[in-house]
Amino acid sequence: MYPSDRMPPMRSFYRTILCRTKEWLWAWCALFFSISMLLAGNAFAASSFQQDRSQEPTSVNLATYLHIYEDTQQRLSLSDVMALPESRWAPNRDQVFNAGFTLSSWWFYVDLSAAANGNHFDFLEIENPLLDNLDVYFVTNGLIETQITLGDSLPFSRRMVDHRNFLIPLPKISLDRNTRVYIRVTTSGTMQLPIYLWKSEAFLEADQMAVMWQSLFYGIMLAMAFVNFFVYLATFNISYFYYVGTVVSLLLFQATLHGYGYRLLWPDNQWWQEHSIAFFVSCICMFAMLFTISFLHLREQKKTYYFLFKTLAILSVIGVLLSLVLPYALALRFAVVAIALGSPLCVLIGIVLLRSGYKPARFYLLSWNIFLISSMVLLANKVGLLEVSWLTENIQQAGATLQAFILALALADEIQQMHKDQLSARETQLQHERDLREARERTNRELEQRVEERTQALEDAVQKLASTNEQLERMSIIDELSQLHNRRYFNHKFETDFKTAYREQCSISVIMFDVDHFKKINDHYGHLVGDYCIAHVAGILKKHVTRASDIVARYGGEEFVVVLNNTNAQGALHVAEEIRREVFTIPMQHDGMQIPMTVSGGVAAGIPHHYQGMAELLNLADNALYKAKQNGRNQIAIAPPQDLGSAAKFAEDQAH
């Protein structure tokens, strides 16, 4: 768990989100189940209505009518394949043709008239939006009637129908003629060809249902991402940021996989369409590894696994970069290798931490197993190990949704545990204070009972108290942070020195220093480093002002004051410039950091003409300091010579 005493303050809106995260998640689960049942009911009603309305088939899966020829050299033209004997064509035996990753071109033909079986169909659909190049030829009695070029290597605007899949309106072909459709496919991705004939009404109904399911998935995942992003803004818990990154990357991967990305987000950017799948797969792996490190606290829990996951995260970052420059097939293989290495490792670390009694691991292990199994099914589908079906195409979405709910519940559970830890820590602190108070009262009673027996000890205590008082007296005039004299001492000593200078009619100088941009140093490096900066400047002041008769004091905040007795303006200017130069040339060093600093200074000097000119001298030095800051800082300004206390002396003379 995260340390309970380090949780930052939150606004009331964010606090409400944190306190009700579990309730929201259960509400989302109920909503998801209700909508799923509603959509399933609508789908069943629509299919029943369609069956009752007509006995004619509304769609045909052309997989059973496909004949296949592999062009390993990618050299054959349509005339070449039309001249091939029938024995060279292999009939398709699967529900969806799937050759996995391949470098060949593939030729297919379908006897359209035989597949239609006398029925009229409006569209030919190829349900794989990631195919690079498609050449479709409608051939009747050996003559090419229509030729169509498609593929995601072309701008989306070149498609005949504005749809995420490749949708081809069927030309008016007489069904009693010998009509074939030849298709040539070349792609750097997986060679899958789900191909169907559709009547327009049936296609619209099926497509609408598919879009509703996809919208439900994207809506739920986006809602999870937004809620957890707000929680991240409230807590600055980096686990939530990595979780949001994983969800968003998965959403964009699924959008690209199902054609929504190319249709809605980057319709005319073929370069990004080619590289996006590998990019988002690498992003999923990267954010998943970082989330695992953060959520399971591997740096504290398991050092070895921490370095393994950190290495995989770095490999994923490399995969993200390579996906932008390497060909799609190579970049995707790199990303798949990273996932293949990271996925079992995620399961393994979950098991290891669960066996060691680390409770958050139970959520993590369950969610990751669900997502891993669903992703492996999708991967097996894409490389040709499993047949293409609605289940194998969409199982990762279901797994990702379940994983998102489980991980969100885990994060909500962690917030509750943090709240409990805060309450427990507060109660422990109160109990500790009660124990201290009781101990103090008990000690006081014991001291009262033994006072007569410890008279000598009391005398020793009085002597020690006197010594402590001396120490306290010194502490009352020393600034604890800078170890310089404080303002209280300065006020007293400066008044004495000024009166001495007035009696002896000798020059006295005041230098006011101010650390430039000290607030920015505090804001950037923190108040602790700011304190070290104050001490650094104080050390330089003590180094240059060494006479016992002079004063070096911290005037307040980042301001310092120096009083030089028997020193004229030029002498004070020389000392001030030496101090400014050393602060500028020697940066403050702390914990491996070098922090450059500058100071501005104001110098005022003169011979007092009245003992009440002390405030005037300080004011002149302060005005000179203000002038130095106005002129650009990191410089010393000197006040013009003045007759110190002349006004007070004139008033006194008039009174007499």
* CA-closest candidate to residue 466, choices 478, 456, 458, 477: 458
- For 60, list phi and psi in degrees, rounded to 5: -135, 130
Helices 200-235 and 21-53 pack at an angle, to 10 degrees, of 180
Structure token digits, residue 518:
């000290």
Rg (CA), the chain: 41
CA distance 95 to 131: 18
Catalytic residue among 558, 577, 578, 652: 558
542-574 as b/e: b if 16+ CB within 10 A: eeebeeeebbbbbbeebbbbbbbbbbbbeebbe
Q: Which residues contact 223 (CB under 8 A, 6 or more apart)?
A: 28
Q: Name the token pair of 198.
A: 């559709």
354, amino acid identity: L
Sole residue written with tokens 């979780």: 243
C-alpha distances out from residue 136 to 68, 78, 81, 563, Å: 14, 10, 13, 94
List, in sequence order, the alpha helices (H) in 478-517.
Answer: 487-504
386 burial level (CB within 10 Å; 0-12, 13-18, 19+): middle
Instruction: Note every long-range contact of 424-433, with CB atoms under 8 Å and residues 24 or more positions apart, other chains counting.
Output: 424/4, 425/4, 425/5
Query: Is 399 within 8 Å of 375 (Cβ atoms)?
Result: yes
Q: Is 98 exposed, middle or buried (0-12, 13-18, 19+ CB in 10 A)?
A: buried
478 contact partners, CB below 8 Å, separation of at least 6? 484, 485, 486, 489
Strands (E), 142-189: 143-150, 166-169, 179-186
Q: Which two tokens stand for residue 154?
A: 């072309």
Q: Which run of H or of E encompasses 554?
A: strand 551-556
The C-alpha torsion from 610 through 616 and 618 to 620, rounded to 10°, is -130
Distance (Å, rounded) from C-alpha 647 to C-alpha 452? Answer: 64
At residue 163, φ and ψ (nearest 5 deg) are: -150, 150
Q: Minimal CA–CA distance to 279: which of 237, 249, 255, 309?
A: 249
C-alpha triplet 8, 12, 15: angle, nearest 5°: 60
Among residues 299, 298, 296, 284, the alpha carbon closest in space to that of 244 is found at: 284
- Taking the chain, what is the end-to-end CA distance rounded to the nearest angstrom? 80
Q: Which residues contact 637 (CB under 8 A, 6 or more apart)?
A: 600, 601, 602, 603, 624, 625, 627, 628, 631
Give yes or no: 452 in active site.
no
- Which residues are known catalytic residues? 558
